[in-house]
């Protein structure tokens, strides 16, 4: 389940940002210095195993702290290039330092522990770093791949959840683009739905409103069907008003649907976006359901 994210205060954000940038620059400097020492004095005495392992663990913790500070600073206002630098520079620096302290072998098991700690730290923190900053893009790409290969579920009288799918307009909505300009939802109304049978389909169509309170970035929009539809319907949600919202069908049942809504950034004031909603279910399935009852 998505969790609400509280924005970090500007003072703390500045502190975390300074720690991340300063730590990155210092770590890169140490890595270059370590490489320079090994190049200038290639015949120097190798470091003891304990010292090499301690250096590797220290740099691994240093790198993890840099990325944690950057994420804590909530740097949504920065571009992807800065995110890439914070991901790449500590990674290269840690590997260079690990290579410098193992320039002369310190023993097979000690070398294994040193590189295991280094690579495990990079695998864990770098994957969390990328998924946190680019999770929305990755999720949208995976949703497109999943929906391009999935097949339509068989009609059944049982309540079945469906795989979340990206929301897009269909022919019904595109044919009523002119009417969309005239559709309005009164300020005190949160949902206004109409149920009808048209073109051999049972349809639930109308307008719904979501609410984002100050500091809130995620919200859930629930729409109930009473009586329930005979089978899992196909649903559409099209935004009409308000700040742009990312939409995902979180769960679709015969008795209702839940949409997961997400703003690009946490709202500073109350947001009340309005959406057009459509759910369709074949009439034939409805007749079979009534006969079974």
Asked if residue 286 and residue 176 are part of one domain, the reply reads yes
Q: What is the pLDDT along the chain (293 residues), one digit of tens a residue?
A: 444 444 557 777 778 778 878 888 888 888 888 778 777 776 666 667 777 777 878 888 888 888 787 777 765 656 677 777 777 888 888 888 877 777 555 556 777 777 777 888 788 877 777 777 665 555 566 566 666 655 455 444 455 565 555 555 455 555 555 555 556 788 888 898 889 888 888 989 889 999 888 888 889 999 999 888 888 899 999 888 888 898 998 899 989 999 999 888 887 888 888 999 999 988 775 455 555 55
Between CA 266 and CA 271 the distance in angstroms is 10
Residue 129's Cβ-count burial label (10 Å; 0-12, 13-18, 19+) is buried
- Residue 3: the pLDDT is 42
> DSSP class of residue 48?
P
> Max Cα separation, the chain?
88
Task: Tell me the CATH number at 228.
Answer: 2.60.40.2080
- Residue 19: the pLDDT is 82
Asked if the structure places residue 271 within a domain, the reply is yes
User: By the 8 A CB rule, do 244 and 193 touch?
Assistant: no
Per DSSP bridges, beta strands 256-263 and 274-282 are: unpaired
User: What domain range is 64 assigned to?
Assistant: 10-146
Asked if the structure places residue 37 within a domain, the reply is yes
pTM for the model: 0.38
- Number of compact structural domains in the chain: 2
Asked if residue 113 and residue 195 are part of one domain, the reply reads no
Q: How far is CA 254 from the centre of its chain?
A: 27
Asked if the structure places residue 153 within a domain, the reply is no
Asked if residue 79 and residue 44 are part of one domain, the reply reads yes
User: By the 8 A CB rule, do 214 and 269 touch?
Assistant: yes
């Amino acid at each position: 389940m998505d969790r609400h994210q509280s924005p970090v205060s500007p003072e703390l954000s500045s502190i975390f940002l300074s720690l991340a940038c300063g730590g990155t620059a210092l770590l890169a400097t140490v890595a270059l210095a370590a490489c320079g020492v090994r190049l200038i004095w290639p015949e120097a005495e190798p470091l003891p195993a304990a010292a090499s392992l301690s250096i590797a663990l220290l740099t691994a913790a240093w790198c993890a702290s840099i990325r944690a500070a950057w994420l804590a600073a909530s740097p949504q206002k920065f571009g992807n290039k800065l995110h890439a630098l914070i991901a790449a520079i500590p990674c290269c620096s840690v590997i260079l330092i690990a290579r410098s302290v193992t320039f002369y072998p310190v023993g097979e098991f000690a070398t294994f522990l040193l590189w295991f700690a280094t690579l495990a730290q990079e695998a864990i923190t770098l994957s969390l770093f990328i998924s946190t900053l680019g999770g929305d893009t990755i999720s949208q790409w995976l949703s497109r791949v999943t929906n391009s290969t999935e097949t339509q579920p068989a009609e059944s009288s049982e309540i079945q959840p469906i795989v979340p799918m990206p929301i897009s307009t269909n022919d019904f909505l595109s044919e009523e683009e002119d009417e969309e300009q005239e559709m309005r939802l009164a300020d005190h109304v949160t949902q206004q739905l109409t149920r009808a049978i048209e073109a051999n389909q049972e349809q639930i169509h109308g307008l719904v409103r979501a609410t984002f309170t100050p500091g809130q970035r995620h919200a859930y929009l629930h729409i109930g069907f009473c009586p329930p539809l005979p089978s899992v319907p196909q649903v559409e949600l099209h935004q009409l008003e308000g700040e742009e919202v990312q939409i995902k069908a979180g769960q679709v049942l015969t008795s209702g649907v839940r949409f997961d809504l997400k703003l690009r950034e946490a709202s500073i004031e109350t947001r009340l976006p309005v959406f057009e909603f459509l759910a369709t279910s074949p009439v034939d399935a409805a007749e079979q359901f009534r006969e079974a009852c």
